[in-house]
Structure 1
Amino acid sequence: MNVKTVRQDRSREPSLWPFAALIGAAGAAMLVYALPDAPGWLSALALTVCGTGPTSAHAGLLGAVLLVLGWGLARGRQTAWALTLGLLVWSAAAETEALLAPSRAEPWRLAPLAFAIIGLWHARTHFQVPLNAGRLRQTAEFSAVAVVAVLLLGGGGLFIERGSFATPVAAGDIGREVVSAAAANPGPAEFDGPSWQLNGLALLCGSLLVIALAWLMASAPAPRPGGRAQRAIVRAMVAHPDSETLAPFALRYDKSYVFSPDGRAAIGYRVLAGMAVAGGDPVGAAASWPDAVEEFAALVRRSGWRPAVLGAGPAALELWAAQGMRRIGIGDEVVVDAAGFSLDGRAMRNVRQAVRRTERAGLVVEVLPERELEPGLAGQLRRIHREWLGPSGLEHGFAMNLDAMARGAHPEALIAVALAPEGYAVAFQRYLPAAQYGRAPALSLDVMPRTPLSPNGVNERLIVDVIGYARIHGYQRVSLNFAAFRPLLSRARSAPGELTRTQRATIKAIGLLDPLIQVDSLYRFNDKFQPGWVARSVLVGSWLDLPRFALAAFGMEFALPYDRRRTGRAVTAGEESVELQGGAQPVEAAAPLRGHRG
């Protein structure tokens, strides 16, 4: 599909906000009307909404329901559309029936009800998020449990307190009181004094109803990660010349996939907090990228998620913009030209010193494919990696990190290992072969763990040796780390007096956060290699999605506790890698790692 055509189609899509705003405003008005000291002018508005003067309990329940329906309409939920239309039709039918008793009728209400019904019916095709079968099943299970709880707890509580009723009641009367409280109606019986039982039961039933409605209209659950067959297809797409340097990270065990109709391009994504976050650009043939992006956008709309992209490169920005997504520049990918790299010159003095420091310490560097790792060495690397991750042991990253370290799941990866003179590993780096927009193959850095006692300069030494390896073996570029806020940090170093007040405040905030996320120190480390920079961006469907995107992105990147899939899939990834090795169990190093101080 042509990008211009997609953009025109998006511009013609009608806004659902008028319907949502109307229903939401009615709900807010009813909630205010339910308050003890509500303004008198709200009585006329309540009469318009309900056709009669509702009790406070009725107004509160109806207001909460209307707010949930308004939210569902704003999100394009077909369930919200059907329920809202049903309420309007039911209200119009009740008003028509009331015409038989003119003293109770408010016939003028039929005009706004008719306009609302006609408008909703006319816009029916624009509510594109269908009822999710999984959510329907969950709502039905929740409702069944809620009904049993109300009958047992509510009915049992009223039966125990039956002596507090003003007049004697029978068991059947208790049942009617429960039904009346569930509908927020005052029952025929009355308590002697305040009725916390009936009021509490009414509040409980109203809350359960609102929760069931919200659950029914929630977005689809996160899909299961792609299986081995899908990842095998994506692995072939990663090797396509059109794929870019972040393409290998689409192979993470926790990512799901959406494919272009011709099967030549794919997008790896995850869903967290209702955000469907794609990692980097599509992988595979660039000619099929527009169709893959369109398929992803269609899936997001059908599922009720909010779209986002983390780490988008320049090649796909126009495709995402055609879907109406907003761009935020977040920094630059660090890319070194392997053929032109040299340690000569004053600018490379710090790197030369670091390399010589490790040479004096006797460190030896070996670069070999992951499939050629001996079991003992692979066990040492896994142990270094676990200690580097910290107590949680959870693998971080989403857009620029892979998984299953040294377990054979990614046999094409290159491992650069720093060995102490005694022969054991003290640090390593993993690189993934990738293409770069149709150019010669590139290497993309995954992680660079090291032991605490490894000599200073070991990371510089490993990078320099990998760049030399790339030059010999035909890799044109080596992609290193990601430099967040790189343009701002560069300007702060070159022209600090030209910074605006906002930029200076941002620099101070980065300095405060640097012990946690190491933004400035990582930029300074990368800048030592005199690299090139490839702009990377975040894209969201709406600026209002930014808080939720931040919640999802931080959970994915830093394996925060609310990212439950990360904890649930970590073991599975190891099991799958064992299968790929033919069932052999991984061998761990028996002796503890020993550090070496240079």
Structure 2
Amino acid sequence: MTDAIVTGLDVARDVVPLPRDAGASGTASVKLMRLAAGLGLAALSLISVEFLFEPLAELGLVYKLHTGLGGASLASLSLLGAMAAGRAMQRQIRPQRPGPTPCALQQASQIVYAHSHAAAGLVALGDKQILFSQAGDAFLMYARRGRRFIVLFDPVGPRSAWPGLVMALLRQAKASGCRVAFYQVSADFLPVAADAGLRLFKLGDQAIVDLTRFDLKGGDWLKLRRSINRAERDGLEFSVIAPEAVPDVIDELGYVSDVWLAHHQAGEKGFSLGTFQRSYVAAHPVAVIRLHGRIVAFANILTTDDREEAFIDLMRHLPGTHRGMMDLLFVKIMLHLKAEGYSRLDLGMAPLSGLSSRESAPLWHRLGRLIYENGERLYNFKGVHAFKAKFDPDWQPRYLAVSRKSEALPAVVDTALLISGGVRRLMRR
């Protein structure tokens, strides 16, 4: 079975057949419909895994799927299922690949701590392979899904080592009969991508808060101040637990995590999302919210030694505790990190934000913008962007990089399946 059979365009071709007597204009219209369906599928697959079940859902920023969806939405979900199932069927049964050795994980973690890319601390989950530079001072992390190597983030380490790492992985993938996709790379990766002949597709914008200028003074912060003051008056208390003290409360944290997962009828994800592994959680500071002495919310914070950047990873809470709880947690984390001398906080990506709507913009941008503006029935794109925007972040673009345009949609679906752990877990809820 060739790779073309499982691309989004091939699935869309079955759903939107070309009329036999169609003229040139009709043919163009049908092709546009196929492309639109394919991009919609890509957006839905990413959204359903990486965003639908985040704590933002509890804040009312994400709408739940329901049986009242329109025909177009149901068709898109059917298309998603067909494509995901097709890629799963294509994948041959292989033995479980061994993870990185403890020595490799330690080396990678040391590189992360020495550089300003806190989110790269996700390497410590141990669910990704690690490729080191020849000098051992840089690495990239990736996982294999079927016949694709999926790299997470930019390489970590000196930028002079990036081109060599990328070319080494491309050669390794070719020798294994695989393709490579680079997921959530930044603008810093663009020169390397160009030299390697990779095509870039924007996924959204990353929200980065400049902590050096973050405060709650002035009228612009009035609504947020009121939310926080109300939460504190109602008895919510914030504190940060140092890594060495986390084992003392790990059972409480585990309980909150279990309740949160059960409430969302979701299992743990992976790859680009943290999971509740006790050793992993205990390796980082954990911010908690208590009510009457009991932990009701927490977030673990990935940091770097130079204190340039921090990243909020796991965010879990007991549903229905307090409306302002997550506002309190976010703001107090920012103020705490600022007091500790950190320069910025990574809040993660707002999907499909920042795409151009100009008529001359690439088709990926125009269709993505169309989904962003009109896809509220499935996912509150604008709400997620607005929630992060109220912390006044800098918005930085994030991209998918692949070798050919036709690989973009299959790469997105493979990434979604990798994060979720398979088709069944992707389609749950």
How far the C-alpha of 1:321 sits from its partner, in A, is 2.4
How far the C-alpha of 1:385 sits from its partner, in A, is 1.4
2:107 maps to 1:233: yes
| SS of 1:371 mapped into structure 2 | helix
How far the C-alpha of 1:537 sits from its partner, in A, is 0.8
The residue correspondences of 1:87-486 to structure 2 (distance < 5 A) are 223-241=97-115, 243-375=116-248, 377-390=249-262, 394-399=267-272, 401-405=273-277, 407-409=278-280, 411-420=282-291, 422-434=292-304, 440-486=307-353
Q: Which has the higher contact order (CA 8 A, sep 6+)?
A: 2
The CA deviation string for residues 521-574 of structure 1, in whole angstroms up to 9 with x for no partner, is: 22111011111112111111212212321221111233334689xxxxxxxxxx
AA in 2 matched with 1:547: L
Q: Distance in 1 between matches of 2:367 and 2:425?
A: 33
2:420 maps to 1:546: no
AA in 2 matched with 1:507: Y
Q: Counterpart in 2 of 1:536?
A: 398
Report if aligned partners of 1:253, 1:403 keep a CA contact under 8 Å in 2.
Answer: no
How far the C-alpha of 1:310 sits from its partner, in A, is 0.9
Q: Distance in 2 between matches of 1:368 and 1:327?
A: 40
Q: Distance in 2 between matches of 1:440 and 1:522?
A: 27
How far the C-alpha of 1:503 sits from its partner, in A, is 6.5
Assess, with a 3 A threshold, how the Cα gap between structure 1 residues 507 and 297 changes in structure 2: closer, same or farther. Answer: same
| Larger Cα-atom Rg | 1
How far the C-alpha of 1:424 sits from its partner, in A, is 0.5
| SS of 1:556 mapped into structure 2 | helix
How far the C-alpha of 1:300 sits from its partner, in A, is 1.1
AA in 1 matched with 2:208: V
Report if aligned partners of 1:311, 1:536 keep a CA contact under 8 Å in 2.
Answer: yes
Q: Distance in 2 between matches of 1:409 and 1:244?
A: 17
Q: Distance in 2 between matches of 1:219 and 1:540?
A: 25
Report if aligned partners of 1:219, 1:304 keep a CA contact under 8 Å in 2.
Answer: no
| SS of 1:365 mapped into structure 2 | strand
Q: Distance in 1 between matches of 2:387 and 2:394?
A: 14
Segments of 5+ residues of structure 1 without an aligned counterpart are: 1-214, 493-499, 565-598
Assess, with a 3 A threshold, how the Cα gap between structure 1 residues 300 and 389 changes in structure 2: closer, same or farther. Answer: same
Report if aligned partners of 1:272, 1:563 keep a CA contact under 8 Å in 2.
Answer: no
How far the C-alpha of 1:408 sits from its partner, in A, is 2.6
AA in 2 matched with 1:385: S
How far the C-alpha of 1:252 sits from its partner, in A, is 2.3
Report if aligned partners of 2:307, 2:341 keep a CA contact under 8 Å in 1.
Answer: yes
AA in 1 matched with 2:405: W
Q: Distance in 2 between matches of 1:469 and 1:366?
A: 9
Which structure has greater helix proportion?
1
Q: Distance in 1 between matches of 2:425 and 2:154?
A: 23
How far the C-alpha of 1:374 sits from its partner, in A, is 4.5
| SS of 1:387 mapped into structure 2 | helix
Q: Distance in 1 between matches of 2:373 and 2:187?
A: 29
| SS of 1:258 mapped into structure 2 | strand
Q: Counterpart in 2 of 1:513?
A: 378
Q: Counterpart in 2 of 1:59?
A: none
AA in 2 matched with 1:327: L
Report if aligned partners of 2:352, 2:368 keep a CA contact under 8 Å in 1.
Answer: no
The residue correspondences of 1:556-567 to structure 2 (distance < 5 A) are 556-561=418-423
Assess, with a 3 A threshold, how the Cα gap between structure 1 residues 231 and 536 changes in structure 2: closer, same or farther. Answer: same
How far the C-alpha of 1:393 sits from its partner, in A, is 5.4
How far the C-alpha of 1:403 sits from its partner, in A, is 2.8
AA in 2 matched with 1:455: H
How far the C-alpha of 1:307 sits from its partner, in A, is 0.6
Q: Counterpart in 2 of 1:27?
A: none
Assess, with a 3 A threshold, how the Cα gap between structure 1 residues 520 and 221 changes in structure 2: closer, same or farther. Answer: farther
Assess, with a 3 A threshold, how the Cα gap between structure 1 residues 276 and 540 changes in structure 2: closer, same or farther. Answer: same
AA in 2 matched with 1:355: I
Q: Distance in 2 between matches of 1:562 and 1:297?
A: 30
Q: Distance in 2 between matches of 1:374 and 1:463?
A: 23
Q: Distance in 2 between matches of 1:298 and 1:230?
A: 21
Q: Counterpart in 2 of 1:579?
A: none
How far the C-alpha of 1:220 sits from its partner, in A, is 8.8
CA RMSD after TM alignment:
3.1
TM-score (norm 2): 0.71
Report if aligned partners of 1:351, 1:529 keep a CA contact under 8 Å in 2.
Answer: no
Report if aligned partners of 2:209, 2:394 keep a CA contact under 8 Å in 1.
Answer: yes
Q: Distance in 1 between matches of 2:260 and 2:179?
A: 34
Report if aligned partners of 1:223, 1:256 keep a CA contact under 8 Å in 2.
Answer: no
Q: Distance in 1 between matches of 2:199 and 2:138?
A: 23
Q: Distance in 2 between matches of 1:236 and 1:293?
A: 21
AA in 1 matched with 2:331: V
Assess, with a 3 A threshold, how the Cα gap between structure 1 residues 220 and 397 changes in structure 2: closer, same or farther. Answer: closer
Q: Distance in 2 between matches of 1:267 and 1:219?
A: 26
The CA deviation string for residues 184-205 of structure 1, in whole angstroms up to 9 with x for no partner, is: xxxxxxxxxxxxxxxxxxxxxx
Assess, with a 3 A threshold, how the Cα gap between structure 1 residues 233 and 511 changes in structure 2: closer, same or farther. Answer: same
The CA deviation string for residues 199-225 of structure 1, in whole angstroms up to 9 with x for no partner, is: xxxxxxxxxxxxxxxx9x989977432
Which structure has greater strand proportion?
2
